Chain A
Amino acid sequence: MKTWKEIPPGGLILEAGNASTYKTGGWRTYRPVWDEKKCINCLICWVNCPDSAILVKDGKVTGIDYDHCKGCGICAKECPSKIQAIKMVKE
């Protein structure tokens, strides 16, 4: 963390695209746990995640970004009921 002498005055943020440096994972009380074996890669969780915390590579889910996931549970709720590849577990 920077000291008051190292930051721009007046609360300005001078560099663009820095939202990812703000870690919101600490807000979570429930963590989504993803089961790769059950996942059918429909990407409904990816579409609905408000924090872009579902990690995807080449059209396939690879995991969850716990630095930014706030634990809202939308992914678990929206995961097709027959699949249930994501479960919310108390932190």
Chain B
Amino acid sequence: MKNTLALTGNEAVAYAMKQINPDVVAAYPITPQTSLVQKFADFVADGEVDAEMILVESEHSAMSACVGSAAAGARTMTATSANGLALMWEIVYIAASSRLPIVMPVVNRALSGPINIHCDHSDTMGARDSGWLQLFSEDAQEAYENTIQAVRIAEHPDVLLPVMVTLDGFIISHGMENVELFGTEKIKEFIGEYKAEHSLLDLKNPYTFGPLDLYDYYFEHKRQQAEAMRNAPEVVKKVGEEFARTFGRDYAPGLVEPYKLDDAEVAIVALGSTCGTTKAVVDEMRQEGKKVGLLKIRAFRPFPRAEIVQNLKGKKAVAVFDRSDSFNAVSGPLYSEVTAALYQMIDSGSKVPIFNYIYGLGGRNISLDEIKGVFNNLLSGEVKNEINYLGVRE
């Protein structure tokens, strides 16, 4: 029998953390992540998990505690949002380069300023080169499932990198949905026990952690890190397949999710909750006989270049939706990387007309009609500008 509960995205992720029962959680509250860690703290206080909860004085300390904990060989988690992620910045990079498999749900929120607490992707987009994997979630269910899979992916010996699981602030984190929860025993079996190869608490095998690493070896360590990320796509796919088998899903989550894309003439590429909104528009327009489709990017890191090329090849027009701006005087970050990926198709002599829509900054709502408008413009070839701001007052 299915165990379905009405949960917010934050509650669903807190529930996943309860079922994972990590050794250590070190966290500091920040809107809109607060209710996630608060819910997990309830589980700790009620004795439903035996995780060590470290209440720290800032996010910089939260990630620092996580690094120490993970270096001691403990399965370690935290969670944050926006400015909290910004404050832990220094240690975010150190966690990845020290190859510590920390899992961190990030409830996406616009970075200040001006100060804003609502959703956009500027926080995690800023961390795109930090060396963490980034799995974006479309809804509470996917945030729940991504959190469980993230543990396996992070700890895989070919990867050993930390993973961010993102969920759109308020839209997913505070919106209540039906979430199908899996049995705790089954989840424990799926993630298995974490046995770190090295532990600072193993006094019989002492080692040096975090030494100075100058021009003679730093480059070699970065090369290792690059290789670990190159190993990640295969691991993300395999863990997704095993997840689907274990929990009876008919769809194995991979790096991307094409939605009604095979015969689509035009496509939207998007991340996060907007994918769900776009699917509703696709369904509606398909009923009108319009061949539209969606390419949802689940893994932004590792970046699914081959999958993007394969899925967008031959489309009449493509719109890339960015919920953040790069302020590079050109485009949003997803657009930059998708267009760079499509450069690979130059050899085949085909160039896909592609446009950027920067939208939803600071939690600005995106409507079904706006998405429908973009699809219609793509279909009729009426897009005038390569880079567009959708939903801003011009």
Residue ID in chain A nearest B222 by CB atoms = A4
**Majority SS at the chain A contact face:** loop
Do residues A12 and B209 form an inter-chain contact, with CB atoms below 8 A?
yes
Do residues A14 and B99 form an inter-chain contact, with CB atoms below 8 A?
no
Do residues A2 and B220 form an inter-chain contact, with CB atoms below 8 A?
yes
| A81 contacts partner chain B, Cβ-Cβ < 8 Å | no
Tell me the smallest distance from the CB of A27 to a CB of chain B, in Å.
11
**Complex CA distance for A11 and B214, rounded to whole angstroms:** 11
- Interface range on chain A (Cβ under 8 Å from partner): 10 to 19
Q: Given that A12-B208, A13-B207, A13-B208 are known contacts, is A7 also in contact with B99, CB under 8 Å in the complex?
A: no
Tell me the smallest distance from the CB of A71 to a CB of chain B, in Å.
18
Do residues B206 and A7 form an inter-chain contact, with CB atoms below 8 A?
no
Do residues B224 and A1 form an inter-chain contact, with CB atoms below 8 A?
no
Which of B98, B160, B208, B209 has the most C-beta atoms of chain A within 10 angstroms of its own C-beta?
B208
**Complex CA distance for A4 and B160, rounded to whole angstroms:** 16
What's the count of A-B pairs with C-beta under 8 Å? 45
Interface string of A1-18 (1 = CB under 8 A from B): 111100101111110100
Residues of A within 8 Å of B97, CB to CB, are 10-11
Interface string of B210-226 (1 = CB under 8 A from A): 11010011011101100
| B188 contacts partner chain A, Cβ-Cβ < 8 Å | no
**Complex CA distance for A42 and B220, rounded to whole angstroms:** 45
Interface string of B32-55 (1 = CB under 8 A from A): 000000000000000000000000
**Majority SS at the chain B contact face:** loop
**Complex CA distance for A4 and B97, rounded to whole angstroms:** 14
Tell me the smallest distance from the CB of B195 to a CB of chain A, in Å.
16
Interface string of A28-61 (1 = CB under 8 A from B): 0000000000000000000000000000000000
Interface set, chain B 141-155, CB cutoff 8 A to A: none
Residue ID in chain B nearest A9 by CB atoms = B99
Do residues A7 and B221 form an inter-chain contact, with CB atoms below 8 A?
yes
| B229 contacts partner chain A, Cβ-Cβ < 8 Å | no
Interface set, chain B 80-98, CB cutoff 8 A to A: 97-98
Q: Given that A1-B216, A16-B206 are known contacts, is A10 also in contact with B99, CB under 8 Å in the complex?
A: yes
Residues of A within 8 Å of B217, CB to CB, are 7, 11
Interface set, chain B 195-212, CB cutoff 8 A to A: 198, 205-211
| B284 contacts partner chain A, Cβ-Cβ < 8 Å | no
Interface set, chain B 83-121, CB cutoff 8 A to A: 97-100
Contact for A11 among B98, B160, B223, CB less than 8 A: B98
**Complex CA distance for A9 and B209, rounded to whole angstroms:** 11
Residue ID in chain A nearest B99 by CB atoms = A10
Residues of A within 8 Å of B98, CB to CB, are 10-11
Residues of B within 8 Å of A11, CB to CB, are 97-98, 209-211, 213, 217, 221
Residues of A within 8 Å of B198, CB to CB, are 12, 14
Residues of A within 8 Å of B160, CB to CB, are 9-10
Do residues A7 and B224 form an inter-chain contact, with CB atoms below 8 A?
yes
Interface of A toward B, CB cutoff 8 Å: 1-4, 7, 9-14, 16
Interface of B toward A, CB cutoff 8 Å: 97-100, 160, 198, 205-211, 213, 216-217, 219-221, 223-224, 227-228
22 residue pairs A–B, Cβ–Cβ below 8 Å: A1-B216, A2-B220, A3-B220, A4-B219, A4-B220, A4-B223, A7-B221, A7-B224, A9-B221, A10-B97, A10-B99, A11-B97, A11-B98, A11-B213, A11-B217, A12-B198, A12-B207, A12-B208, A12-B209, A13-B207, A13-B211, A14-B205
For the complex of A and B, the 8 pairs showing the least CB-CB separation, nearest first, are A10-B99, A13-B208, A4-B220, A4-B223, A10-B98, A9-B99, A14-B207, A4-B224
